[in-house]
Amino acid sequence: MTWRHFGVVVGGILLLVIAMGISRFAFTPILPYMRQDVGFSFQEASYLASSNYIGYFIGAIWAGFLYKRRKVILIWSVVINVLSVLLMGIVDFFTVWLVLRLIAGITGGLIFVLTSSVIMDYLAHHALAKWSGYLFSGIGLGIALSGLIVPFLAERVLWTGAWIGLGILSAIFVVCIHVLWRPVEVPELKKIEKTADTRVVKGFMLWLIVAYGFEGLGYIITGTFLVDIIHHIPALMDYAGYSWVVVGLAAVPSAPIWTVLLEKTSAITLLVSAYSLQIIGILLPVFSQTVSSVLLSSFLYGLTFVGIVTLTTAYARKRYPQQSGVVVSLLTSVYAFGQIIGPLFAGEIVSIYHDQLAALAFAGVMVTVALIILCVGRMLTVRQEGLSE
């Protein structure tokens, strides 16, 4: 890989650092500080989370219909996204926060789908497809950065200063991306006619899509409330921030690791392994509230959630190599829909049982359902159509 190609990949990583690691997931470590200072409930926190995921759902669908000026739209999405992060620390109205999280979600969905499509197509064009897994390390890098920066800033300049600090850091990354992406030319796409040969949802894909939706529902509860849940366990309060850093550090090499394994093992086999490990990670704190169990839970969660995205996207792109943008958009949209309702379910469950660990138990059950659908769906498809991996 030349320095030019390396710079393009780094620019893509920074885009996901901004849109996913910071704009989206920095809410997780900031949430305990916001709840402590502002005093809103767990259920109100779920509204803020779901507002962001509704926006992500809209952005992901929207991205699938973009065929022209994709690079321009991507850059403007990043600028607006960074502004939404900055304003979270400046404006002090819950209703405005809901709108800002919605805007952050819309732009985040656009950034994720467009960046994934552009980078993967760019690497494929230059015979560098094996490097595509490194793109998703931006999610983990952003999570690790937010996990380190948020406690440092929140303890000195409150949670408002944490949002502003992350916004400034994101703005610096935008300047870097502008320089690194100068050589990237994004061709206009041809609009795909809806014929029997180009439909994305066919028999063997339906089970993958449904499983991915349940995964989105289950994983996001942990991704949104893990730090807050740990923060409210007295014996573990001091480790709440560290748990999110561990998630990020585990997520950084996750995509490359799963991508390397993908060269030797089938995507479905790896997905079964990733789902299984994630279920263990989510449920560990439910049964054991010790430092070691919480940190192991964080590690398994970080190792798998990016891996599941990487493996699912790679498998779908393999089946539909000429429709990468549409395929990624569809999967991301269903995934996003699961994420919209996940926090709302979690809020209701906590209000009923008055125990935040009940939300984690529910999340574990949902990912288990996803695993069952994945296994049964694949088994039935192989029997009916004799498809190979």
pLDDT at residue number 152: 93
At residue 271, the pLDDT reads: 95
189-223: b (≥16 Cβ within 10 Å) or e: beeeeeeeeeebeeeebebbbbbbbbbbbbbbbbb
According to the model, what pLDDT value does residue 196 have?
44
C-alpha dist (Å) from residue 303 to 97, 139, 243: 30, 11, 13
pLDDT confidence of residue 197: 46
**pLDDT for 23-55, tens place per residue?**
999 999 999 999 989 988 889 999 999 999 999
Its domain, for residue 211, covers 3-385
Does the pLDDT value for residue 224 go beyond 70? yes
164-211 confidence digits (pLDDT tens): 999 999 999 999 998 988 767 765 555 555 544 445 545 457 888 899
Which CATH number belongs to the domain containing residue 377 in this structure?
1.20.1250.20
Q: Which of 95-99, 237-241, 358-362 has the lowest mean pLDDT?
A: 237-241
Lookup: tokens for 224: 């949104």
Its pTM stands at 0.86
Q: What is the pLDDT of residues 330-375, one digit of tens each?
A: 887 788 889 999 999 999 999 999 899 999 999 999 999 999 999 9
Over residues 279-318, the pLDDT tens digits come to: 999 999 999 999 999 999 999 999 999 899 888 887 887 7
Q: How many domains does the chain have?
A: 1
